[in-house]
Amino acid sequence: MTPATDAAADSHQVPQSIDILKIMQSIPHRYPFLLIDKMVEIHAGQSAIGIKNVTVNEPFFQGHFPSHPVMPGVLIVEAMAQTAATLVVMTLGKAFEGKLVYFMTIENAKFRRPVGPGDQLRIHVDKERSRANVWKFKGVARVDDVAVAEATFSAMIMG
């Protein structure tokens, strides 16, 4: 952690897990674009796991693909970013709740197998570095402990 994130994490208590209501308090995303349902194993300023329960009722399945529903890879990467953004807000505290977080880079995205209805994505994000309001993460999405997608990405929190 940087000294700024050390101080932020020390100044308030960060829970080990949060529900959808706390996620919605932390980031501005809403249905149909809120892509995480819960977060667990939160380590302030370092890592977290986001949970996405994929159901057949997801709006993107109407067109991707009706006869063989597959969650778009870009939405899996977005779920990684939302997990990371929520971790950043949880680390930095109440003053950053609801702030916008913008992608800056997406690197080395790999999609290993399709994700479909009935799957539960466990989205592991680990901070690689942060400086000022720019954070870089490595994300790996897993289904049944098998990696289905991964990417390295950076984002800027606006505030």
Q: What is the pLDDT of residue 159?
A: 72
Exposure of 84 in the CB half-sphere (CA atoms within 13 A): 31
Residues noted as catalytic: 64
Burial of 28 (0-12, 13-18, 19+ CB in 10 A): middle
Q: What is the mean pLDDT of each run of 10 residues along the chain (159 residues)?
A: 48 89 96 97 97 97 96 98 96 92 96 98 98 96 98 93
Confirm if 130 and 5 have CB atoms less than 8 A apart. yes
Residue 80 has which token pair?
Answer: 């990684």
Q: What is the pLDDT of residue 155?
A: 96
Question: Is 68 strand, coil or helix?
Answer: coil
CATH level 3 topology of 20-157: Thiol Ester Dehydrase; Chain A (3.10.129)
Q: What is the pLDDT of residue 11?
A: 53
Q: In what order do the strands lie in the sheet with 47-53?
A: 38-43, 47-53, 120-131, 134-143, 146-157, 101-111
Q: Which residues of 70-102 are buried (b: 16+ CB within 10 A; e: fewer)?
A: ebebebbbbbbbbbbbbbbbbbbeeebbebebe
* pTM over 0.85, yes/no: yes
Q: What is the pLDDT of residue 12?
A: 75
